[in-house]
Structure 1
Amino acid sequence: MSAVPTHETARAAAPEPFSPALRRAIAVIMIGASLSFLDSTIVNVALDTVAADLAVPLTDVQWTVTAYLLAFGAVIPVTSWAAQRLGAARLYTVALLVFTLGSACCALSQNIGQLVASRAVQGLGGGAIVPVGTIIWTRMADRAQMARVMSMVGIPIVLAPMIGPTIGGLLVDGAGWQSIFWINIPLGLIGALLAQRLLPRGGGSDAGPLDVPGLLLAAGGLVGLTYGLADIGTRAGATPRSIGVLVGAAVFLTVFVVRSLRVPHPLLDMRLYANRLFSAAALTMFSLGVALFGGMILLPLYFQIVRGEDVVSTGLLLIPSGVGALAANRLAAPLTDKLGGGTTALLGGVVAAVCTIPFVFLTADTPYPLLATAMAARGAGIGLSLTPVMTSAYRTLPPEKIRDATPQLNVLQRVGGSIGTAVLTIVLSHRLAGRTRPSGRAEAFGTTFAWVIAAAVMAIVPTVLLFVTERAQRASSTSSKEHS
């Protein structure tokens, strides 16, 4: 395996400008990535409207969210094999067209069954877009450019949970719930056309036989894990069904990992975790998903439940979080090149944890300027954390291994966010029980934010591991050069 470049080396060399081909690829793939991540959150604000329009209970409409997430999780494991077999650019175009077709079917749905099925189709396309797009980006960028490329990847990841509800609320209020799907169609078709014209047209290659047993185990495990966590979040507590599904999912995934280490052509290469730096980065990615993305659900609920704001107003009030995250995301790439991924991620994690403290003291009338300042600072911590972790993970791997690493990192981040969301939903529901006054409800949110701080502190631990591992590898690389 090639040596990991030191941050001193990266600092000494002037940053290489992106090639025209890489710039075109970034522009094209950002379209699909934004659509995929936005559709994970934008539908949430339309659930009540859909339930009323289709005359079905809200519990049935929740399946439109669950179906998307289940299909999303099921397709990710096969993206590595399919990208090699069909060609990454071709698969990206197909995924975007499937997503667009699913969006059209959603908009045309006349009953809840059609809508749920259409959301599953949409999820199959959306689940493949981001990992395949990342494969294309990372193949075209060299190691010195990796941090800047990953900062572009981080934009839709960070912003989607923050701006999705706002966009969804504006569309639902102005043009009905179907509009949140109609808007995807022109954007998806434009993205597919640009992908066909601008992405590198490398053909497929011999990917070996598809590991069907591995696919069934991985997809079954991820679907079960997603469903179990979603069920816990929806019911605000564990049930025998959700526990049984989660146990079954754990068995599937355990068998998948053990089997993948023994067969010659596994669906995903689990041997990547023998690389200590990649393992540290992967663990950090999962932990950040638990602490950061799980915590994102609380503030929108606070504004609606405690302060009585509507969806659109809530989205506008959350803008400082997005501004802080976007500003820090722009700083993350140069800081990663200068300080190293572990140091930058550790800094971001500490900022996110410290800036969550003010939310523990929420009241029903906490001044908004104070909230806005804390939201911007916490958003900066989030934006400063993700890019360095992804950069460290990809920099340590040979280019041919990136296609195996990409779906695994996507899964870890998604699962971490789902776990964080499920746990915080349970805590919040228990704290809100029996509280009807705004002051009591605000106190419930403050207590729940204490759990967010605990999760954020726990997420700092793997960033320390990443920091220490990077330092050890840099020292080893320097020592090898001195003795050569």
Structure 2
Amino acid sequence: MTSMINANLRKGPIMASLLIAAFVALLSQTVLNVALPKMMIDLNVNESTIQWLSNGYMLMNGVLVPISAYLINRFTTRKLFLVASSLFALGTIICALSGDFSWLLGGRLVQAVGAGILMPLMSVVVLTIFPVAERGKAMGMMGIAMIFAPAIGPTMSGWIVEHYHWHVLFYIILPLALFAVIFGAFSMRDVIKTSNPNLDVLGVIFSTLGFGGILYGFSAAGSDGWGSVDVVACLVVGGISLLLFILRSIMGKTPLLEFRVFKYPMFSLTTLINAIITMAMFSGMILLPIFLQNIRGFTPLESGLLLLPGAILMGIMSPITGMIFDKIGARWLAVIGLIITTITTYEFSQLTAESTYNHLMLVYTLRMFGMSMLMMPIQTAGMNQLPRSLNAHGSAMSQTLRNVSGALGTALLVTFMTNKAASHAKELIISGRIDPSDKAKMAEVTQAATIYGINHSFVIATWLSVVALVLAFFIRKVQPHEESKDATTNAQVAALFEDE
């Protein structure tokens, strides 16, 4: 039961602890985006492999977040926060000392274990300590810190990679991660009642095999092809395991992840929209740095500076959209934001070798402006409908689907990019009768094919944005479902929502 155990707790220090930890976790996630092309060269791996530093992070989040609902109900807030932030710090140490790709990936996965607990914990604590009328403003405060990390991450990464080795990135993050642990030890308090639920071990196994198998299958398809035995086997095993996990969660007495949250229609709609938006958003975060550095020849620092204005604008807009949400709800924020996102994503599907730096910066900044109206307001609109007893499961479900959709979207779009680029290169070689031993001509073919593949992936991301835009018109401002002590499960389900 996720209810506050002390209404007189000071909210400021608790929020500060959560925001510092979230800032460090998101900084670690976004700081690698600009550095990936350089790391590909240093570690001698291709695009499909290097993306595991991002996808593996998100996948581990996707595996851990379903368990977070159990952990939040089982362990005290303070204890859970300290364990999660300590694990993140440990993963940062492993990354800083890593000598090859395997150790680096291992450190990223340990970081992701901590982040996979921290992020849903933060959402549940905010929903618990703030009344419904103030949640938009609280989410806006959360957005400032959470978006500040992506704002400085790419620029800092670009400058460091240009002047130093990429290991320095983790040496900078490490003291921040340790500070988050120390500050939380003094400031975090227990705000959620605990119980003694049973852990569905078989559900954990099914969810891990399901999410892991599907993601690995999509990622491996980029290098091995869709007909590969390994790819097909992973997709089949992952699909069956995920189906078994869903069936077990619906039919079990103590499900790992409570699918009853989907009986609340606005939560279901907003979760679907956020999953689609995440797929579109992560495509730009991965593909754009590849285009900027490998095609246009910009330095990592220049790539980071190009992304900086958009991230800063997103941070400025976060509290503003939070206040607007408290007044008018999420529908028109989402519609306007998705119109902007759709147009700017389409612009990225028209990239050429002559695309200018200023044009790319303008389009990316406008795209982030549109995104600033989406994630937090839409998520809050769905969470507001849930009764308090389902807050942990709702937060875990929303975070799980968002993380996994981001990982799958990135893997799928990178796969489309590499496959389209390879097939287009063959067409150019055949039509131009180019000798594969002619290095100059082959360099031109590779560049043209890569641009073609990136544009194709952005076309797909554009259509994803269009789907989300259509769904956004169905968002309704709802009256939150408040449950009484004697409320039964049937009453919770029946009292869905009513328009304000």
Q: Same fold (TM over 0.5)?
A: yes
**Cα distance in structure 2, aligned partners of 1:63 and 1:288:** 21
Task: Look up the equivalent residue of 2:181 and give its one-letter code.
Answer: A
**Cα distance in structure 2, aligned partners of 1:70 and 1:476:** 36
Q: Which residue of 1 aligns with 2:247?
A: 258
Which of 187, 200, 203 is the matching residue for 1:211? 200
SS of 1:420's partner is: helix
TM norm structure 1: 0.84
**Cα distance in structure 1, aligned partners of 2:189 and 2:385:** 24
The alpha-carbon deviation at position 131 of structure 1 amounts to 1.2
SS of 1:364's partner is: coil
Deviates more, 1:348-357 or 1:397-406: 348-357
Task: Look up the equivalent residue of 1:140 and give its one-letter code.
Answer: I
Aligned CA distance change for structure 1 residues 83 and 468 (closer, same or farther; 3 Å): closer
Aligned CA distance change for structure 1 residues 118 and 387 (closer, same or farther; 3 Å): closer
Deviations 1:295-325 (A, max 9, x none): 3323222212321112221111122321332
8 Å contact kept, 2:58–2:404? no
Which of 362, 368, 377 is the matching residue for 2:366? 377
Aligned CA distance change for structure 1 residues 469 and 244 (closer, same or farther; 3 Å): farther
Q: Which residue of 1 aligns with 2:13?
A: 24
The alpha-carbon deviation at position 201 of structure 1 amounts to 2.9
Q: Which residue of 1 aligns with 2:118?
A: 129
SS of 2:304's partner is: helix
8 Å contact kept, 1:77–1:219? no
> Which blocks of at least 5 consecutive residues in structure 1 are unaligned?
1-18, 479-484
The alpha-carbon deviation at position 130 of structure 1 amounts to 0.9
> Which blocks of at least 5 consecutive residues in structure 2 are unaligned?
1-7, 429-443, 481-494
Deviates more, 1:418-427 or 1:189-198: 418-427
Q: Which residue of 1 aligns with 2:470?
A: 461
Deviates more, 1:60-69 or 1:408-417: 60-69
Q: Which residue of 2 aligns with 1:279?
A: 268
Task: Look up the equivalent residue of 1:244 and give its one-letter code.
Answer: A
Which of 149, 163, 166 is the matching residue for 2:138? 149
**Cα distance in structure 2, aligned partners of 1:215 and 1:445:** 36
Q: Which residue of 1 aligns with 2:289?
A: 300
Aligned CA distance change for structure 1 residues 461 and 156 (closer, same or farther; 3 Å): farther
8 Å contact kept, 2:154–2:307? no
Is 1:406 the counterpart of 2:395? The answer is yes
**Cα distance in structure 2, aligned partners of 1:229 and 1:96:** 31
Which of 410, 419, 422 is the matching residue for 1:421? 410
Task: Look up the equivalent residue of 2:461 and give its one-letter code.
Answer: V
Aligned CA distance change for structure 1 residues 52 and 376 (closer, same or farther; 3 Å): closer
Q: Which residue of 2 aligns with 1:334?
A: 323
Q: Which residue of 2 aligns with 1:325?
A: 314
Deviates more, 1:169-178 or 1:452-461: 169-178
Aligned CA distance change for structure 1 residues 116 and 246 (closer, same or farther; 3 Å): same
Q: Which residue of 2 aligns with 1:187?
A: 176
Task: Look up the equivalent residue of 1:251 and give its one-letter code.
Answer: I
Task: Look up the equivalent residue of 1:456 and give its one-letter code.
Answer: S
Q: Which residue of 1 aligns with 2:106?
A: 117
Task: Look up the equivalent residue of 1:227 and give its one-letter code.
Answer: Y
| Count of aligned positions | 458
8 Å contact kept, 2:135–2:380? yes
8 Å contact kept, 1:237–1:426? no
Deviations 1:300-354 (A, max 9, x none): 2221232111222111112232133223323311221222112221221112112
**Cα distance in structure 1, aligned partners of 2:282 and 2:409:** 7
Aligned CA distance change for structure 1 residues 402 and 95 (closer, same or farther; 3 Å): same
SS of 2:122's partner is: helix
Q: Which residue of 1 aligns with 2:484?
A: none
**Cα distance in structure 2, aligned partners of 1:63 and 1:282:** 25
Is 1:229 the counterpart of 2:238? The answer is no
Aligned CA distance change for structure 1 residues 398 and 198 (closer, same or farther; 3 Å): same
Q: Which residue of 1 aligns with 2:380?
A: 391
8 Å contact kept, 1:280–1:466? yes
**Cα distance in structure 2, aligned partners of 1:453 and 1:127:** 29
> Percent of aligned positions with the same letter in both sequences?
27
**Cα distance in structure 2, aligned partners of 1:61 and 1:373:** 28
Task: Look up the equivalent residue of 1:129 and give its one-letter code.
Answer: L
Q: Which residue of 1 aligns with 2:440?
A: none
Aligned CA distance change for structure 1 residues 475 and 248 (closer, same or farther; 3 Å): closer
The alpha-carbon deviation at position 272 of structure 1 amounts to 0.8
Deviations 1:194-213 (A, max 9, x none): 11211223586223211212
RMSD across aligned positions (CA): 3.1
8 Å contact kept, 1:294–1:418? no
8 Å contact kept, 1:70–1:227? no
Aligned CA distance change for structure 1 residues 360 and 224 (closer, same or farther; 3 Å): closer
Q: Which residue of 2 aligns with 1:368?
A: 357
Q: Which residue of 2 aligns with 1:5?
A: none
